Structure 1
Amino acid sequence: MSMYRVWSYVADYSLLLVSGAAIALFWANLSPGSYHALVHFPLWSGGPVGALESHGGHSLRVMTLHFLFNDVLMAFFFAMAAKEVWEAVALRDGSLRGRRALTPLIATVGGMAGPVVVYLLLASALGVLGDVSRGWAIPTATDIAFSYLVGRVVFGARHPAIGFLLLLAIADDAGGLAILAVFYPSGEVAPAWLLLSLAAALGVYFLANALPRRLDRGDQDRPHSTWLRKTLGFWPWALAGAMSWYGFQMAGLHPALGLLPIVPTIPHAEREFGIFAEEERYQTDLLNVIEHALKVPVQFVLFGFGLLNAGVEFSAISEPTWLVLLGLVIGKPLGITLFGWLAAYPLRLGLPEGMAVRDLPVVGCVAAIGFTVALFVASVAFPAGPVQDAAKMGALLSLGSAVIAIAAGRLFGVRKKA
C-alpha cells in the first residue's frame, strides 16, 4: 500500500475531525456561552426523534444540533466501522478468521482490560471512584485512523506489526460497540422495541437479498437481483436502517448504533480484501457502493462531531482527564504486552513471522490513541458538565501517545521495514 493511500485515508477520516476539534477548543475557551448555545441549539421540538427533555411536567423529544450529529449522523460512521468488522469476521479470507487472528484478538482483550484496571485503580487511589466510575470504558478505545498512521511511521510500511495493529484495532472497535450497546443505554431500557430493529433486518435480508438470489438460482442473467438493484437501489436498506435506528432510540440503546443490525444484510463481496485495501475501490457490490457514497458525507459528519464535542475549557482539566489519559498510555501497552505474550508463548499461538515480543509494547503505545471513539464514549458516559469535559480532555490529549510511540520504537529497537 502506498504512503499516498495512507495519507489519503487519514485526510478522509481525520483531518476534518481534527479541524472541528481544534475550532471547538478555541471557541469554547474564547466564548463559552456562544459555543454552548450552538451545541444545544434546538432544531425540532415535540417530534418523534430527539433527546427526551422535561417541559412543564411532561416529556417531549427535542432534536438539538448535538443530538443530530451524535445520535443520528454518527450512525453512518459506526456503520462504516461495522462494515470493516463484518467483512473481517464473515467473509472468505477475512482477517479476523482462523488461527492467525487469535494472538491479536487475545492481545485486544488485554488492550481493553488494562486501561479499565488502571482507570479504576487510579480513581480509587485518588478517592474519586464514586464520581467517575461510569467512565471506565472511555480509555478502552483505539482510533483506527490515527493508530494506523502512527504505526506506519514507527514500524514502516511492510512490518508485520502493522497487520497485527489493524486486527487489534478492528477487534477493539467491535468490543467498543458492544460496550456502548450493553453498558451505556441512552435512556430507560425498553427492549421490546429491539424487535422493530430485528424485524427490519430480517425483512430486508429476506425480501431484498435472499429471495431475489433464490429466484435467480440457475439463471446466469440474474433478472430478479438485477431488477432490484437497478430499480430500488439502496432504498430498501435505507428504509430498514431508519426503522432499526428508531427501534434503538425507543429501546433506550444509543441510537448511533442503530444501523449495525442492517449492515450484515446488505449484499457484499465474496471475499475480504483487507482494511483500506485498494481493491475495494473497484468493487460493485452494494455494501462497497454504499460505503463509497458515504465517504465524503461522513468526513463532514466527523467535522461536526469534533466541533460539537471537543469544546472543552482548559480549566476543566482535573482527575478524570488524567484517569482517561493514563488509562490509555499505561493500560494499553501493559495489557497488550501481557496478553500478547501469553497468547504467543504459554498458549503457543505465536506471533506473525518477523514480529518480536519487543514490538508488543510499541504496538500498545500506538493503540493508546483513543481520540474519536474515546470522545464519543465520554459524551455518553457522563452528563454534560465538568466531569464530562475533563474526560473529553483526556481523550483529546491521547493524541500525544503518538510521540510516546515513536520514542518507544527507538527505545525497543524496532527495525523499520519500508
Structure 2
Amino acid sequence: MYRVWNFVTNYSLLLIFGALIALVWANTNPESYHHFVEFKIWDHAPIGHYHDGHRTLTLHYLVNDVLMAFFFAIAAKEVWEAVILENGSLRGKKAATPLIATAGGMFGPIAVYLGLALIMGSDTYEAVKNGWAIPTATDIAFSYLVGRMVFGAGHPAVRFLLLLAIADDAAGLIILAIFYPSGDLAPEWLLASLGAAVAVFVLANWLPRYLDWGNQARPNSTWVRANLSFWPYLIAGCISWYGFMRAGIHPALGLLPIVPTIPHADRAFGMFSEAEQYLHDLLNDIEHALKHPVEVVLFFFGLLNAGVEFSAIGDPTWLVLAGLLIGKPVGVLLMGVLGAHVLRLGLPQGMKTSDLFVIGCVSAIGFTVSLFVATVAFPAGEVQDAAKMGALLSFGAAVVSVIAGKVFRVEKRSL
C-alpha cells in the first residue's frame, strides 16, 4: 500500500483524480458544484476576497490563495537550490543550452497564442490577450513522468527536460508576481515580507552559526534546530504571506521570500532523486514533511478549479492548446539549436538535435500551473472556463510526445 501511495503522490495523480471528479460534477450538476467551490467559511474574515468593505474567506480562496502557497514554496526550493548551490543544475555552462531552450519554450507559446488571437480579430484578441502566460507553463511532475516513458529513465534528455522545467517554473513565478496582481498594488506592504525574511534569517539561521564559529559541537545551532525547528520560519511565512496579500501580489507566492532563509544542505541531487530523502538539513526536512500534504492540496486544487462544462470550449481553449502544442516544441527546438549549434554551447552527450523537439512536446503539458494562471488571468466566466479547458486538454501532449518519440526514433535508455 505504501508503494502505491508513494507512486500516486510522486506523480501528482491525486491532482488528476480531483480534476476528473470536478469535470464530472460540473457537467452533471453545475449548480451544486459552483455552490461547493464558493462555499463561505468565514464572512468578515481577516483574509479572503475583498468586496463591499470586508473580506470573505471561501473554500476556493483557502485552497488557491492560502494552501497553494506551500506548493509554490516547494517549487521555489528546487529553483533556489539549482541556482545557489555550487553544483546547482542551473549554474555554469551545463545549464546554458537548457536555459536558452527554456526561453524558446516561453516566447514560442506567447507568439503563437497572441499571433493567432490577432488573426481571429480584434474582439477575440482583446478578450483573451491577458491569458498570454497560460501556455508558457510546464507541469514538472507530469512532464517528468511522460519524459521517462518516452526517453527512458537513463536518457540525458530527461535531465535536460528537468532543467528546462525548473527554469520554466522560476520564470513562471516571476510572471505571476509581476503581471498578475491579485488587487490594487500597495507595495509598501512588501516591507513586512522583507522584514520577516531578514529577521528570521538573522535570528534563527545566521546568529546561531555566528555564535558557533570555531566550535565543532555547534551548541547554539543544535539548540535552535532541536527546540525551535521550523516554527520561526512558519511564523515568518505567515507574516510574509499577509504582506503579499495586502500588497496586491498573489498571496500564493507569499512564502517565496522565506525559502532562501532556511538552512539548507550544500548539495542537491535534483528533483525526484531518491538520494534527496537522505538529506536532513532543515529545508529538505520541511520539504519531506510537506510533500504528502501538498499532494492532498493539489487534489482539492484540481477539484475546485477544473470543474468546467464541456460547452465552455471556445477560442481561448484552442489558443492555449496551440500555444502549448505548437509554440512549445517549435520554440524549444529553435532556441535549443541556437544555443547548442549557433552559439556552440553543445548538447549533453548522448542527445540528438531532434530530441529537442520531443522535449518540447513533453514540456507542453501545462496542467497545474497553466490551470492556476488561467484562474488569475481572467475573471470567472466563459473566457476563464474556456482557457481552463485548454490547460486540462494539454494532457494530449503526452500522446503527441509518444508519437514524436516514435517518428524521431528516440532510443530509450534505462538507468
TM-score band (shorter)?
A: over 0.9
Q: 2:40 aligns with which of 39, 42, 54?
A: 42
Name the counterpart of 2:374: 378
Q: Given that residues 10 and 145 in structure 1 are in contact (C-alpha distance below 8 angstroms), is that contact kept between their aligned partners in structure 2?
A: no
Taking the TM superposition and a 5 Å limit, the aligned residue runs for 1:113-124 are 113-124=107-118
Deviations 1:128-172 (A, max 9, x none): 100000000000000001100111111111111011000000000
Deviations 1:110-143 (A, max 9, x none): 0000000000011111111000000000000000
What SS does the corresponding residue of 1:63 show, helix, strand or coil?
Answer: strand
**Identity within the alignment, %:** 68
Name the counterpart of 1:73: 67
Deviation for aligned residue 1:11: 3.4
Name the counterpart of 1:321: 317
Q: Gapped runs of 5+ residues in structure 1?
A: none
What SS does the corresponding residue of 2:350 show, helix, strand or coil?
Answer: coil
AA at the equivalent of 2:42: W
Q: Distance in 2 between matches of 1:31 and 1:7?
A: 30
Deviates more, 1:275-284 or 1:220-229: 275-284
- Residues 6 and 334 (structure 1 numbering): CA distance in 2 closer, same or farther, change over 3 Å? farther
Taking the TM superposition and a 5 Å limit, the aligned residue runs for 1:306-317 are 306-317=302-313
Q: Given that residues 66 and 308 in structure 1 are in contact (C-alpha distance below 8 angstroms), is that contact kept between their aligned partners in structure 2?
A: yes
Deviations 1:5-55 (A, max 9, x none): 99945533511100000000000000000000011111111121101122x
Name the counterpart of 2:88: 94
Name the counterpart of 1:19: 17
Name the counterpart of 1:108: 102
Q: 2:289 aligns with which of 272, 290, 293?
A: 293
Q: Distance in 1 between matches of 2:240 and 2:98?
A: 32
- Residues 365 and 290 (structure 1 numbering): CA distance in 2 closer, same or farther, change over 3 Å? same
AA at the equivalent of 2:17: S
Q: Distance in 2 between matches of 1:5 and 1:160?
A: 26
Q: Distance in 2 between matches of 1:148 and 1:10?
A: 14
AA at the equivalent of 2:326: I
Name segments (4+ residues, structure 1) moved above 2 Å: 4-13
Name the counterpart of 1:222: 218
AA at the equivalent of 1:228: V
Taking the TM superposition and a 5 Å limit, the aligned residue runs for 1:12-411 are 12-54=10-52, 59-127=53-121, 128-411=124-407
Q: Distance in 1 between matches of 2:368 and 2:39?
A: 23
Q: Distance in 2 between matches of 1:72 and 1:367?
A: 27
Q: Given that residues 142 and 367 in structure 1 are in contact (C-alpha distance below 8 angstroms), is that contact kept between their aligned partners in structure 2?
A: yes
Q: Distance in 2 between matches of 1:313 and 1:279?
A: 42
TM-score, length of structure 1 as denominator length: 0.97
Q: Gapped runs of 5+ residues in structure 2?
A: none
AA at the equivalent of 1:47: A
Q: Given that residues 107 and 331 in structure 2 are in contact (C-alpha distance below 8 angstroms), is that contact kept between their aligned partners in structure 1?
A: yes
Q: Given that residues 112 and 327 in structure 2 are in contact (C-alpha distance below 8 angstroms), is that contact kept between their aligned partners in structure 1?
A: yes
Q: Distance in 2 between matches of 1:6 and 1:197?
A: 39
AA at the equivalent of 1:396: L
Q: Given that residues 8 and 14 in structure 2 are in contact (C-alpha distance below 8 angstroms), is that contact kept between their aligned partners in structure 1?
A: no
Deviates more, 1:83-92 or 1:136-145: 83-92
The answer to whether 1:416 aligns with 2:409 is no
Q: Distance in 1 between matches of 2:11 and 2:260?
A: 23
Deviations 1:358-410 (A, max 9, x none): 11110000000000000000000000011000000000000010000000011
What SS does the corresponding residue of 1:355 show, helix, strand or coil?
Answer: coil
- Residues 259 and 6 (structure 1 numbering): CA distance in 2 closer, same or farther, change over 3 Å? farther
Q: Distance in 1 between matches of 2:157 and 2:332?
A: 13
Q: Distance in 1 between matches of 2:178 and 2:341?
A: 33
Q: Distance in 1 between matches of 2:213 and 2:80?
A: 25
Deviation for aligned residue 1:304: 0.4
Q: Given that residues 86 and 266 in structure 2 are in contact (C-alpha distance below 8 angstroms), is that contact kept between their aligned partners in structure 1?
A: yes
Q: Distance in 2 between matches of 1:318 and 1:278?
A: 42
What SS does the corresponding residue of 1:180 show, helix, strand or coil?
Answer: helix
Q: Given that residues 10 and 146 in structure 1 are in contact (C-alpha distance below 8 angstroms), is that contact kept between their aligned partners in structure 2?
A: no
TM-score, length of structure 2 as denominator length: 0.97
Q: Given that residues 139 and 325 in structure 1 are in contact (C-alpha distance below 8 angstroms), is that contact kept between their aligned partners in structure 2?
A: yes
Deviates more, 1:249-258 or 1:123-132: 123-132
